[in-house]
Amino acid sequence: MKNKRGDFVFGYIVTIAVTIIFFVICFVFLSRASSGAAVYEQAYSKQIALIIDNARPNTIFEIDFSEGIEYLEKERKKTLSNSEKNSLVKIENNEVIVSLSQEGYSSVFFSDYDVSSSFNENKLVLVVT
């Protein structure tokens, strides 16, 4: 004969264990996503795309990139060179790609301007022509 009370307790324990594991996985994912480079990548990429869309020809913009650079320097434990900073932002084919991590984040803009980017210390300089 089966112990029906034992089956009920076992099912209850399994349900609690699965629920705890699910919430732990969700917490780990959210803590990594909210404190990592992904937040900076999305913010900078969207900001740059919006600036380009609202720009007029022959305009120069400076965007403070210091928080993203400080985060990256803290993660890599070294100061970034100018060439490393210049590789953080790529603008090509109406797309802005900000890469503070391996994945990076891209945003699309709609204007047909030629845009060049470079870094001046911790500021991103965009030249819209």
Q: H helices then E strands: how many in the chain?
A: 4, 6
Does one domain contain both 80 and 101? yes
Mark whether 43 and 1 lie in a shared domain: no
pLDDT of residue 1: 46
Q: Which residues have C-beta within 8 Å of that of residue 104, sequence separation ≥ 6?
A: 41, 97, 98
Residue 33 banded pLDDT, cuts 50, 70, 90: low
Domain co-membership, 100 together with 120: yes
pLDDT of residue 3: 58
d(CA 112, CA 52): 9
- Alpha-carbon distance of 52 to 125, in angstroms, equals 12
In terms of residue numbers, what domain contains 26? 1-35
Residue 32 is predicted with a pLDDT of 63
Q: Please report which confidence band the pLDDT of residue 36 belongs to, taking 50, 70 and 90 as the band edges.
A: confident
In terms of domains, do 19 and 54 share one? no
Amino acid at 9: V
Query: Rg for the chain (alpha carbons), in Å?
Result: 23
Same domain, 18 and 49: no
Tell whether 56 and 114 lie within a shared domain: yes
Same-domain status, 46 and 18: no
The model's pTM: 0.73
Does residue 129 sit in helix, strand or coil? coil
- 70 with 121, same domain: the answer is yes
Averaged pLDDT score across all residues of the chain: 89
- pLDDT single digits (tens) 55-109: 999 999 999 999 999 988 998 899 989 889 999 999 999 999 999 988 889 999 9
- The verdict on 58 and 76 lying in the same domain is yes
- Where does the pLDDT of residue 126 fall: very low under 50, low under 70, confident under 90, or very high at 90 and above? very high
Number of structural domains the chain divides into: 2
